[in-house]
Amino acid sequence: DTAVSQTPKYLVTQMGNDKSIKCEQNLGHDTMYWYKQDSKKFLKIMFSYNNKELIINETVPNRFSPKSPDKAHLNLHINSLELGDSAVYFCASSPDRVNHNEQFFGPGTRLTVL
């Protein structure tokens, strides 16, 4: 009965490869997000989707392409991986765009690019 799930939990890959991270939420929420947490624990929004529509793209390189096949899923595909992409990526969801709504976070995917 996990609320927000991500796969895989760990991802180790070589520079230049293409990889995907999947996210699913079973909370019935309309809005989903991707955040990046760097090695110093700093968290920054990457994308947000509302009802499968892209709302925020926070100056993320176009090697990163989110895909939302339906409201419950928001996947992140990364092309031509670089060393600087190494981080923990968190998916989150919230009921709608109202600003006081809590965001529910997944457990994170630790990406290591060698």
Partner 1 sequence: GDSVTQMEGPVTLSEEAFLTINCTYTATGYPSLFWYVQYPGEGLQLLLKATKADDKGSNKGFEATYRKETTSFHLEKGSVQVSDSAVYFCALSGGSGGSNYKLTFGKGTLLTVNP
Nearer to partner 1, 77 or 104 (CB): 104
Would you say 41 and 94 are in contact if contact means Cβ atoms under 8 Å apart?
no
Nearer to partner 1, 83 or 98 (CB): 98
Query: Which parts of this chain interact with partner 1 (CB under 8 A)?
Result: 4, 31, 33, 35, 40-45, 48, 50, 55-56, 58, 90, 92, 97-100, 102-108
Q: How far is the CB of 17 from partner 1 (least distance, A)?
A: 25
Nearer to partner 1, 56 or 114 (CB): 56
Q: How far is the CB of 71 from partner 1 (least distance, A)?
A: 15
Would you say 71 and 29 are in contact if contact means Cβ atoms under 8 Å apart?
yes
Alpha-carbon gap, residue 24 to 68, rounded angstroms: 10
Q: How far is the CB of 37 from partner 1 (least distance, A)?
A: 9
**Which residues are paired to 32 by β-bridges?**
49, 93
Q: How far is the CB of 25 from partner 1 (least distance, A)?
A: 12
- Respond yes or no on whether the N-terminal peptide bond of residue 66 is cis (omega within 30° of 0): no
Contacts of 80 (CB under 8 A, 6+ apart): 16, 17, 18, 63
In total, the chain counts a number of residues equal to 114
Nearer to partner 1, 14 or 98 (CB): 98
